[in-house]
């Protein structure tokens, strides 16, 4: 399961020279030192601007750097709700693309990837009712492509049936008469819709989006929004070509299942 944290870290590693280290001392929540750092004071944070990003891999959490002093060297970050442990690993991304710009680039990529037909997503909130044939679709679910019956939630890999005798009418899922399940736990609905905006580290990104595709597409948007030096243009051209290559290999458009007629000898 990929999250915004994973996507931001992947993007930061691709477009910047991130620095890895461990805390040598801890002052308290939101502040620690690493005496082995040698970067200039403005490498991770600049006055009157947003700061770079500090990642804590063991926690899968990221924070905005609000102070870095080479003489310490001390990192401060917000929100100050994490107290790193001595020797805890961190990854610090410089201020070339700040904390908010990384998130913005990820969301722009998600929007771009879903422009044509939406992004395949999964809903598993609709419960099966024995012999019921009409269900109201969960909020936000439309453009349904595939329907599965999860018969045993404790063993979904073993007890899931691909249902092909269904249709959607308005905001309802209709199962063909005679194909209604006699038992089961919930429906697994595959549908396409614009991807939700991701803002928090643990916000989930659709498993249908290849992480490499997302990373390179986000890199395009990040690189397009900075001054076009020769080095940036070189990176941008590479990102565009690589993103297009991944788009051709990992198309997000999935076909709707065919509607098969119910036959009484089917065992549902």
Residue 48 in tokens: 């009157």
Residue 215, phi-psi category: left (phi > 0), alpha (psi -120 to 50), beta (remainder): alpha
Do 112 and 239 reside in the same domain of the chain?
Answer: yes
Q: The CATH number of the domain where 56 resides is what?
A: 2.40.30
The residues pairing with 192 across neighbouring beta strands, listed in sequence order, are 120
Residue 176 included in any domain: yes
How many structural domains are present in the chain? 3
Residue 124 included in any domain: yes
User: Residue 101 — pLDDT band, cuts 50, 70, 90?
Assistant: very high
pLDDT digits (tens, 9 = 90+) for 61-100: 999 999 998 877 789 999 999 999 999 999 999 999 999 9
- CA distances from residue 219 to 13, 203, 247 in whole angstroms, order as listed: 10, 20, 14
Percent of the chain at pLDDT > 90 equals 80
- Whether 266 has a pLDDT exceeding 80, the answer reads no
Read off the pTM: 0.84
The whole-chain average pLDDT of the chain stands at 93
Residue range(s) defining the domain that contains residue 215: 104-116+196-249
Do 173 and 84 reside in the same domain of the chain?
Answer: no
| Confidence (pLDDT) at 267 | 52
Do 126 and 56 reside in the same domain of the chain?
Answer: no
| Confidence (pLDDT) at 268 | 47
Do 47 and 167 reside in the same domain of the chain?
Answer: no
DSSP letter string over 21-88? EE-SEEEETTEEE-TT----TTTT--TTS---EEEETTTTEEEEEEEEETTTTEEEEES----PPTT-
């Amino acid at each position: 399961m990929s999250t915004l944290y994973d996507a931001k870290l992947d993007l930061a590693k691709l477009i910047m020279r991130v620095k890895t280290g461990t805390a040598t001392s801890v002052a308290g929540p939101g502040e620690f030192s690493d005496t082995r750092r040698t970067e200039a004071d403005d490498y991770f944070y600049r006055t009157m601007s947003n700061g770079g990003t500090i990642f804590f891999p063991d926690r899968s959490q990221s924070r905005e750097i609000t102070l870095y002093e080479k003489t310490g060297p001390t990192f401060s970050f917000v929100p100050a709700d994490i107290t790193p442990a001595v020797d805890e690993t961190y990854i610090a991304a410089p201020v070339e693309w700040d904390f908010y710009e990384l998130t913005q680039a990820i969301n722009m990529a998600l929007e771009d990837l879903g422009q044509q037909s939406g992004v395949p997503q999964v809903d598993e909130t609709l419960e099966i009712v024995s012999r019921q044939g009409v269900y109201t679709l969960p909020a936000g679910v439309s453009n349904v492509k595939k329907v599965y019956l999860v018969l045993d939630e404790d063993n979904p890999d073993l007890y899931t049936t691909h249902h092909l005798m269904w249709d959607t009418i308005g905001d309802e899922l209709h199962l063909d008469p005679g194909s209604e399940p006699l038992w089961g736990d919930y429906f697994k609905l595959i549908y396409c819709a614009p991807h939700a905006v991701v803002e928090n580290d643990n916000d989930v990104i659709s498993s249908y989006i290849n992480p490499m595709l997302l990373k390179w597409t986000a890199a395009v948007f990040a690189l397009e929004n900075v001054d076009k030096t020769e080095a940036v243009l070189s990176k941008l051209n590479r990102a565009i070509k690589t993103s297009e290559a991944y788009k051709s290999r990992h198309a997000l458009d999935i076909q709707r299942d065919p509607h098969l007629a119910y036959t009484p000898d089917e065992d549902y």
